[in-house]
Structure 1
């Protein structure tokens, strides 16, 4: 187990460029991502088409890796995405999770044979090797880079749930794998759902075309209650406890700003033109979380090279007021990014025309974005028009990591530092048993390196 679980600033900003992932230097990862910040003379608005269903075509078999709630949901979403779709293989480390998922799928008419239900840390390989066309990667995100790499190596199309990684090394590994997917003509869709949500897309289109003028700032807030947690049972070893309680440990989830708030960071970045921030200035802490080693609130300021600033704050504490806002401001107006554009005086300039349930015309109804993600994937496969959105997924995940590390260390963290970081969280090998080196206490900002 590496000592860098302590998340010290010294380990975080090691100067060696990309460490053991030597392949990254040949692909030019920093250039791939920092290129997004280059000035553009003309905005080209490209948005995905929203379809009621994927087109008919050859039957597609999918395998699910990670049979928890989100994985089971993604499997059902895949089945709802169009005709001729099957779930034929399941993989997880816990029998109870696999059995519950299998029952849910049986209720939807999908009978998964015993021979295609796999358990263990190598279950992902067995699912991928079982003859599937598509892989749904929905485990805790620490495993995502490894699973994605193997799936692309085996020539499979992929759905990769957010976030794509918990540390910079993993995120950059995903980016390199995504480039290999491009070279093979494979399609990859990420779980950044707002980019597949019809009202958000139509709002974005107008903003990108200049509806609010030049972007000058953003303010993003996601204040909600605490997520679930699981108390340790006497019979559980370290690994079982941490994986069953994965949303409360940084090495398994990335902390709340990476695991959940990445949705809002990604949406903000999208509406701002996917520009690259030069620095994150953050604070955070822990008041009420009762298990794990993570924070339960963050406040992050992203600074851009033109002086623009975007403020993002998130909290997961019960008993508090809640709100959810993604506000982007321009020289001629502002938007909530979901469905409304405002004039500078606060009056509504445009609003998405959502139909009432009783309206006969439902053409502007907003389809479930969780299903729409899979419609996009299946459509790309069946029409032989590959799509791959992993690069923006990686970028948003790295932005979230910048904020996390700034809050954890009490230091400002630059984009260059996150790109050069060799931080890798988690054990070198995954097996049930002791996991030393991860005390169940949160980081303390300002601690000596």
Structure 2
């Protein structure tokens, strides 16, 4: 089973995916997550150093996903006469939380996954966030920028900055600070600098990560040892949803609160022709 990210857009969806992951394990089925950077050789090399302790104890991880809008919401005046609510929303799916999750959950979940990777796929205990909507939403209900502060049990901090606004500086990076050194994923490549002055930069081969993930998945199936990375995909997806919840509400959100939330974003019985409630854009402190 190939499962593209994000695996869910709300907490009930995550819990449903958790059940599916367990069923796949019970049946000996493979489940490959679409967190493609896990199959990128340069990043693998860096995170191997991180997880082996080469950088020492990890103190802070900071990631970014700063880019332009993925699918800008058209004005309501462009909606064809007779088009149903559901069709209008599906055609502009990125702009509705129940369909995309929002930019943090749908796109920047890759960067969230880097934070989780650096922490050995353990989950944070809480998070706070600030964010909002700078560009007119035109009836959509997702933020176009958010910054999340994650806190782990050992007091490690993880930060992520996400933005989808045209005409701004773009960046997709990760900075890892340890007690013995620093790790970097940025425009200058994948590299480390150590407290003693030693430096490393990845110079090995870098095959297409999308091909690598499928090659490794198919090989595991042929060998009768199917890969199942469902647990870590659920962890990273839930981290992104947790960050969105904190940003949209303006409140501190704990892992338990997020995972056990009963907030359902997906309509109970989507009907192509029936009216669908269009949730308003969240207002921190009020939503």
Query: Shorter-chain TM-score: which interval?
Result: over 0.9
Higher relative contact order (CA 8 A, sep 6+): 2
Indicate the SS of the match to 1:194: helix
Task: Specify the alignment match of 1:393 in structure 2.
Answer: 233
Q: TM-score, normalised by structure 1?
A: 0.60
Residues 1:425 and 2:275 aligned together: no
**3-state SS of the aligned residue for 1:326?**
strand
Counterpart for residue 309 of structure 1 = 157
Question: Are positions 1:330 and 2:178 aligned together?
Answer: yes
In structure 2, runs of 5+ residues without a counterpart are none
Match of 1:339 in 2: 190
Helix, strand or coil: the match of 1:336? strand
Distance 1:237 1:348 in 2: 61
What SS class does the counterpart of residue 141 from structure 2 fall into? Answer: coil
SS in 2 for 1:312: strand
Comparing 197-206 with 387-396, which one deviates more in the overlay?
A: 197-206
Give 1:253's aligned residue.
100
SS at match of 2:192: strand
Return the alpha-carbon distance in structure 2 between the equivalents of residues 329 and 297 of structure 1: 24
Asked whether 1:180 is paired with 2:180, we answer no
Q: How far does residue 289 in structure 1 lie from its aligned partner after superposition?
A: 4.6
Instruction: For residues 4-63 of structure 1, give each alpha carbon's deviation from its aligned partner in whole angstroms, at most 9, with x where no partner exists.
Output: xxxxxxxxxxxxxxxxxxxxxxxxxxxxxxxxxxxxxxxxxxxxxxxxxxxxxxxxxxxx
Deviation >2 Å, runs of 4+: 229-235, 434-437
RMSD of aligned Cα (Å): 1.6
C-alpha deviations, 1:164-187, integer Å up to 9, x for none?
Answer: 000011111111111111111110
Corresponding residue for 1:349?
Answer: 199
- Structure 2 distance, partners of 1:421, 1:230, is 28
Q: d(CA) in 1 for partners of 2:270 and 2:209?
A: 33
Deviation at 1:236, TM superposition (A): 1.9
- Of residues 263, 266, 272, the one that matches 2:110 is 263
With the length of structure 2 as denominator, give the TM-score of the two structures.
0.92
Residue number in structure 1 paired with 2:88: 241
User: Which residue of structure 2 aligns with residue 283 of structure 1?
Assistant: 130
Equivalent positions of 1:95-134 (< 5 A) are none
Residue 392 of structure 1 aligns to a residue whose secondary structure is helix
Greater CA drift, 271-280 or 388-397: 271-280
Unaligned runs of 5+ in 1: 1-157, 354-363
The answer on whether the counterparts of 1:190 and 1:393 sit within 8 Å (CA) in structure 2 is: yes
1:170 aligns to 2:17 (yes or no):
no
